[in-house]
Amino acid sequence: MPSSWPQPAVLENLLNADNLGTKNGGKTATTPTDGDDAPSSPLYDHRVLALYKFVSPKIPKESLPALKAELETICRQHLARGTFLIAEEGINGTICYPFRHKAAAATAISTATTAVVDEDSLATVTQESIVERKEDGDELLSLLQAKFDGSLRIRISPADRPVFARLKIKIKSEIVTMHWQGDKQNSKNSDGGAEETTAPCSTRSQDDKNGNDKTTNICSGSSCVPCRPSERNGEYVKPRDWNKLLLDPETLVIDTRNEYEIDIGTFRNAVNPHTQSFIEFPDWMKQNLVDGNGNDTVDEKDGNVNSNSSNKMDDASAKKRKIAMFCTGGIRCEKATNAAMQLIPKDVSVYHLEGGILAYLDEVSEKESLFDGDCYVFDQRVAVTYENLPSTNFRQKCHGCRHPLSNKDLERDDYHHGISCRYCADKLTDQQKSRFAQRQHQMELALKEGRQHIYDPKEEAPTENEKKKSRQR
């Protein structure tokens, strides 16, 4: 099984909702209309908050454990689940939590299909009335912003259920793993001085028993220029101005995401680097942005000549005078532009989409949009579409390889629920398929018995008496 596919832990009972009559704890609320047979709309009583920030100056390494503890306390107080990565360079993560709309804030929501009760009750917020508001009584968001001087880059989405099964906060060497340590001779440092650099350092990263990052640097030179997005990056482009770059013949638009994300949706005219992990993107840039004239490159490790790479662009694309990058929420393309600016000539302008695809889908109408497909997200929603609402086409991931699956994929003969799909059926060993089948059986048993198969160990786990009562029911 290719390691390039997304490999998060099994966090949810991803059973077929249509066959089993449930939707992972989701609720349905009927919106009052003129008729009694009106279709039901999802009750969006949870908020998904994606955020990141590259900080300057860096967070002292010795302060990271205290920050981790503080974030965990804040999140657990608000019943948040998800993942935060913290490092000296900043914070990155996505969490989901119940969100109570205070009456004062709820009045800002379109009232056409919204029922606002009292301050202590959940407002019934339906698909037709979701809008993003940053100041709407969200205490958790306010606390997080205050911790980072109100400068967190955020994106808010609605959810009709928890989209994560547990809370994880990890100390890492990078908040988005790129393994870039600089590659350009005589690059300018933050003070404007020349800084001799060598080939990029390679790193080995592995989580310790507490989930924190243990990184070993294997440096090939005495001085390197790492990515410093907080000091320099490409020019932000607002979502409503992004189409101009997509249609500009002099602009090279690059999707910095992975292949399995691009498979389900991307912008028209965007280049697909065919990378399976973000750590492969620096090599792609070196092959295409530095050596864009089509010449062969020499591998820095073994000295072998790399020619006719399948990931190389055509000469005309590589020689464009503007480069624009994008990703899901903005963090990967922001870091990538910093690396690109160390590689390319100074007369090449570099841009990136502010807020990523999520901001674009939230602010640009489908009629005006140049985005085709849906946007992959790293949670149980699988993908989102316009207004950041859950996709109706991609609602499950394969349990064997984690590739997002369309509704048509689920109807194929080579799809085996909980075991394999068309992307991995011929790649998995018999031993892997047997193991996945056993796991799926345990998940189905848990659902039938009314208990959680996967839960946060720091949250209150179901007791034996509760399990027995559940079985009796």
Residues with active-site annotation: 327
Sign of CA dihedral 46, 52, 55, 58: positive
CB 213 within 8 A of CB 170: yes
H/E run at residue 86:
strand 81-87
Q: Which two tokens stand for residue 458?
A: 């720091």
The DSSP string of 208-267 is -TTS-EEEEEE-SSS------TTT--PEEE-GGGHHHHHH-TTEEEEE-S-HHHHTTEEE
Q: Is 75 left (phi over 0), alpha (psi -120 to 50) or beta?
A: alpha
What 3-state class would DSSP assign to 317?
A: helix
H/E run at residue 145:
helix 139-147
Q: What is the Cα–Cα distance from 132 to 135, expressed in whole angstroms? A: 9
What 3-state class would DSSP assign to 462?
A: coil
Q: What is the Cα–Cα distance from 333 to 273, expressed in whole angstroms? A: 13
Question: Tokens 């989405």 label which residue?
Answer: 157
CA dihedral of 278, 280, 282, 283, whole degrees rounded to 10: -170
Buried b / exposed e across 374-403, counting CB within 10 Å, b at 16+? Answer: bbbbbbbbbbbbbbbbbbebbbbbbbbbbb
**Residues contacting residue 56 through CB under 8 Å, at least 6 positions apart:** 230, 231
Q: Which two tokens stand for residue 326?
A: 């994008």
Phi and psi (nearest 5°) for 315?
-60, -40
Q: Where are the beta strands (DSSP E) in 345-397?
A: 349-353, 371-373, 375-376, 383-384, 394-397
